[in-house]
Chains A and B, each alone.
Chain A
Amino acid sequence: MYEGPVQDLIDELGRLPGIGPKSAQRIAFHLLSTEAADIGRLQDALQKVKEGVVFCEICGNVSEQAKCRICTDPRRDISLICVVEEPKDVLAIERTREFRGRYHVLGGALDPLSGVGPEQLRIRQLLTRIGTTEDGIEVKEVIIATDPNTEGEATATYLVRMLRDFPGLSVTRLASGLPMGGDLEFADELTLGRALSGRRSV
């Protein structure tokens, strides 16, 4: 145990995902020896992440503006929506450069153990989005790209049921080949790219 503020900092850092006690200690002492200006920038960034980040009103991804960069990009195909659990999944799929449509971020997956049901996810918004045309263009295909684990699969099944009510809408699921029980985020680009191009109808 260190004294006062240093230990507080170590404790706070240690609470972050993926940071164990050793890393927390290393980061804390690194920060201690860092220039005040650099610390200031970090402080600003931390401040802004809570105040300045909004969620895109169309897709739910983190954004600086009311609508995110992907949703306002005219080259993106409006008729194609890829449904993911988290903003980090958008990044993972973007890295593959295989996908030219837009996204819909659910904000999680069905997870009764954590009290997450359909109402806690942005499912209603997805249905509204599919039911309305934008610039006269209809949504024609929805790709479900939830994680290949228990919760993600259940969410996918639930979405498939809900989307059955839209005649003419094509619903696809990422092709297998993704490691089961895994996390979309950790799939490598090649595998994820292949899963996207080999998606199957459900």
Chain B
Amino acid sequence: MYVRHLQVTDFRSWAQADLAFEPGPSVLVGANGQGKTNLVEAIGYVATLSSHRVATDAPLIRQGAQRAVVRTAVVNEGRELLVELEITAGKANRARINRAQMPRPREVLGIIRTVLFAPEDLALVRGDPGERRRFMDDALVTRMPRMAGVRADYEKVLRQRGALLKSAGGRRGSSSADLSTLEVWDGHLAKHGAALLGARLDLVADLGPRLTAAYAGVAPESRPATIKYKSSLGDALPPEFGVPDGKRADLELLEVLLLQRLSEMRQQELDRGVCLVGPHRDELELVLGDHPAKGYASHGESWSFALALRLASCEVLRADGIEPVLILDDVFAELDRRRRTCLAEMAVGAEQVFVTAAVEEDVPRELTGAKYRVAGGEITRAE
């Protein structure tokens, strides 16, 4: 797949921008703060309905404007689709595909699939577990767009159940009505939780060996890198799930295990008024040699690990038969020569790659292609 056309209105610093692209590398160069990342961020937003830089939509809308619009024409196996998103802060976004209004923005997921590398990726290694859960869940949605629904359902059930735990726990001695509705929410939490957990376990099983290989390529002198899924089910999680050469996760079994764990933790949950069981408590452990990467890995190792995670998720998609659009945002300046080469080698194989860089010389020669100069609110195609 590739993005043939991008048009934005009031997105970030751009009142208007209009760009045509071809398959292969597209390199956006220009001084700091000229709006290069803003452009690729718009492409990433259409792919994931979220930004790699901010958690809310408000900063995406140009200062003083009411709403931002991103239009993309995407070519997928010879078929072109026009995807339009209207982003309004604090309100539901609106999406159109080939000019037809969609009931929900979620419908556009899967039309463009991206893997985005950015300086923010360092947080995958250094940040709290939430960063790594988001990494897994974003990768899941790219892999299987219907997971966006599972994720949304799970989060909704979680919030409702959390509210119930808080109010039931706050009262002295929970009433039987509280408890019987709690069981209802348990059931729904377990059902959606099992779907999310199972998909994550399968993802981690597929990522694991590719991550180890990618890391060895990026940092051959370092210790071996591995990943391990750590579940709030603890030892109850069958050891053959989530590991290479293991078994695909059995969702029905996971649902039963989650229900069991919920009943074991019932009193603790009521006492504390929070949901203690479920994939929202889980962690993707990054291990370097015998140590967790977080807190032990050096700066360069942390970078290599983050890079290897992205490279591996790209390989997982390719193994699924999906050729994602790659977005390499400001990454080359942060990488040494070997790591640049690893990334470039993988990227040249992609159908389309977007590269942003402040210094043109930082972009590896393999990735020379269409070049766009971004300066003073203008974009010009350069030779």
Instruction: Please list the residues of chain A having a beta carbon within 8 angstroms of any beta carbon in chain B.
Output: 110-113, 115, 117-119, 149-151, 153-154, 157-158, 161, 179-182
Contacts and interface: CB of A to CB of B under 8 A. Distances in A.
14 contacts: A110-B160, A110-B181, A112-B161, A112-B164, A115-B167, A118-B181, A150-B188, A157-B184, A158-B181, A161-B180, A161-B183, A180-B149, A181-B149, A182-B103
Interface in B163-177: 163-164, 167, 177
Mostly, the A contact residues are helix
B184 A113 contact: no
Interface of B: 103-104, 149, 152-153, 156-157, 159-161, 163-164, 167, 177-178, 180-181, 183-185, 187-188
A119 B103 contact: no
Contacts of B183: 161
Contact of B184 (A115, A119, A154, A181): A154
A161 B187 CA distance: 12
Contact of A153 (B152, B159, B161, B188): B188
A150 B150 CA distance: 11
Which 9 pairs show the lowest CB-CB distances between chains A and B?
A: A112-B164, A112-B163, A150-B156, A113-B163, A158-B184, A157-B184, A112-B160, A154-B184, A118-B177
Contacts of B157: 150, 154
A161 to B, nearest CB: 7
Contacts of A112: 160-161, 163-164, 167, 181, 185
A118 B149 CA distance: 27
- Quick one: which of B153, B159, B160, B178 has the most chain A CB within 10 A? B160
Nearest to A156: B184
Nearest to B177: A118
A153 B156 CA distance: 12
Nearest to A113: B163
A91 to B, nearest CB: 20
Contact of B160 (A118, A154, A181): A154
Contacts of A153: 188
A118 B184 CA distance: 12
